[in-house]
Amino acid sequence: MKFSPHIETPRLRIRPIDKSDLPGLMAVNGDDAVTRFLPYASWQSLADAEAWHDRVLAYQKNGDTFQFVITLPDGTPIGTCLLFKLVEASARAELGYALARAHWGSGLMYEAIHAFVDRIFQDLPLHRLEAEIDPRNAGSARLLEKLGFVREGLLRDRWRNKGETTDAALYGLLRPDWEARPA
């Protein structure tokens, strides 16, 4: 499946990730507060960023993962969004995202993910989007609920991450619910 949109919102641009974005993304993925609930260690160096980028490219070759960078209009990377675990037979995929701490609370992630989800449902024959988050990540839960995702369950001891076993809250969004939302 192909999916490589370039999305513009009033304050942001979303486009496929490029290796030239990696130095700017150090402020995102090099921050322990940002990566606290993510399934990888904070980047310590550009070598970590390049290794991550190589993994992303390998996943994208399978056609079930699509990684994007979120930038300001001037091209400064401030975050990422991801569509992965795409299962065509079930018409579903998982959503992921990260935003630089300097932009938390600004509404930028809502703006980005709203536009991203809208484009996903416009361009891909998906019926369902999912997100698994650490239930302690209250900001992510608020974002998903504001977008119309429904918390559907708790997967106990789902992840082993950074030396601890954690639960995962499962959220789902159906295409008909997205299409029926108020404008």
**pTM for this predicted structure:** 0.95
DSSP secondary-structure letter at 136?
T
Split at pLDDT 50, 70, 90, the class of 174 is: very high
Kindly tell me if the per-residue pLDDT of 34 is higher than 90. Answer: yes
According to the model, what pLDDT value does residue 182 have? 81
Percent of the chain with pLDDT over 70: 99
Residue 176 token pair:
């008909």
Kindly tell me if the per-residue pLDDT of 118 is higher than 90. Answer: yes
What confidence tens digit (pLDDT) does each residue in 39-98 have? 889 999 999 999 999 999 999 998 889 999 999 999 999 999 999 999 999 999 999 999
What confidence tens digit (pLDDT) does each residue in 2-30 have? 788 899 999 999 999 999 999 999 999 99
- How far, in Å, CA of 90 to CA of 96, rounded? 19
Mean pLDDT, all residues of the chain: 95
The arithmetic mean of pLDDT across residues 143-154, rounded, is: 98
The CA-CA-CA angle for residues 167, 170, 175, to 5°, reads: 170
